[in-house]
Amino acid sequence: MLNHSPKVVLDTKEIIVLQAQLGEWDNLNHLLICKKTKDAVIIDPFDGKYWHDVCDENGWNLGSAWLTHSHWDHTKGVEEAQQIGGENFEIYIHQNEMQRGWQGPHTNLFTCAEMSGENVMVGQLSFTAHCTPGHTPGHTTFIGHGLVLSGDCLFLGRCGRCDLFGGNANKQRQTLRYLRDILTTLNSSDIVLPGHQYALEDGTLPSMMDVATLLLSNSAILAIDDDQAWNSLDFLAFDDSMAEKAKRQRARDQ
């Protein structure tokens, strides 16, 4: 039995989307299920067994994991998910994550260039996997079927930090411009699902947001066309132990 059940954030004729906040870092995990085939994929599994249990209870086949990037809190459960899923379980990650030393399990590599995308399927559902660097070299954002699964590239109120190993603030800015151009072509009611649940400036703590609201309120997107506004953002880099570790890693690679 599950300690707590995930919530349904979308249920259409084609797809079911479940969301659960797992772990002490406020990670948001998302399960996508193709209704026609009952095939499912988990995005950034924090707990592999949890999601297999969800699928077992509902008669779904969890056959793959898509990783937005290779930070530990987004890959913690992927090895367990693969062990339970067996030899046919597939794990997708972008090849550029190897630049920051990813050695974890994977069966498939995204190879699209930065600021471009390629197709990926779950059941009969087709998504575009976009290479959106900045937080990490091969960060990937998945878009399709009324969804934007943005990992740590784009949060609801801001964007991810760029000072960890493999991060790059200039590429993050380019990525946000690229994503803004895509978001403006989507339906305004499409849902953005980030990799973490962080409080907004007004104190609210949403776990999803429609595209129209995000484009009007996200502080990182609103700053990308103004050098002064962009350089004044206080969440692109932090003075903490993780930043210090990244400095040591960069020094070793020079």
Task: Please report the pLDDT score of residue 254 as a whole number.
Answer: 57
| The residue type at 223 | A
Run of H or E including 61: strand 61-66
Name all domains of the chain by residue range, CATH numbers in brackets: 7-253 (3.60.15.10)
Is the model's pLDDT at 178 over the cut of 70?
yes
Q: Is 44 left (phi over 0), alpha (psi -120 to 50) or beta?
A: left
pLDDT for res 70: 97
Give the pLDDT confidence of 51-85 residue by residue, as tens digits. 999 999 999 999 999 999 999 999 999 999 999 99
Indicate if the pLDDT at residue 22 is higher than 70: yes
Q: Which pLDDT belongs to residue 247?
A: 56
Rounded to whole angstroms, how far apart are CA atoms 120 and 2?
A: 29
**Per-residue CA distances from 156 to 87, 110, 121, 148, 213 (Å):** 36, 25, 25, 11, 9
Kindly state the average pLDDT of the residues 159-181: 97
Angstrom distances, CA of residue 157 to CA of 44, 60, 202, 231, 254: 20, 33, 10, 17, 35
Calculated CA dihedral for residues 9, 124, 143, 150, nearest 10 degrees: 60
Would you place residue 239 in the very low, low, confident or very high pLDDT band (cuts 50, 70, 90)? confident
- Over residues 91-113, the pLDDT tens digits come to 999 999 999 999 999 999 999 99
Say yes or no to pLDDT of 195 above 90: yes
Average the pLDDT over 153-178 and give the result.
Answer: 97
pLDDT-based confidence at residue 30 (cuts at 50, 70, 90): very high
Burial tier of 37 (Cβ tally within 10 Å: 0-12, 13-18, 19+): middle
What is the average pLDDT across 211-239? 96
What percent of the chain is predicted at pLDDT more than 90? 90
pLDDT of residue 147: 98
Given a cut of 70, whether residue 253 has pLDDT beyond it is: no
Where do runs of H (alpha helix) occur along the chain? 48-58, 72-75, 78-85, 169-183, 211-217, 219-223, 227-231, 241-253
Identify the pLDDT of residue 24: 85
| Residue with more model confidence, 209 or 1 | 209
**pTM (predicted TM-score):** 0.95
* pLDDT, mean over the chain: 94
pLDDT at 240 > cutoff 90 = no
Query: In this predicted structure, what is the pLDDT of residue 238?
Result: 81
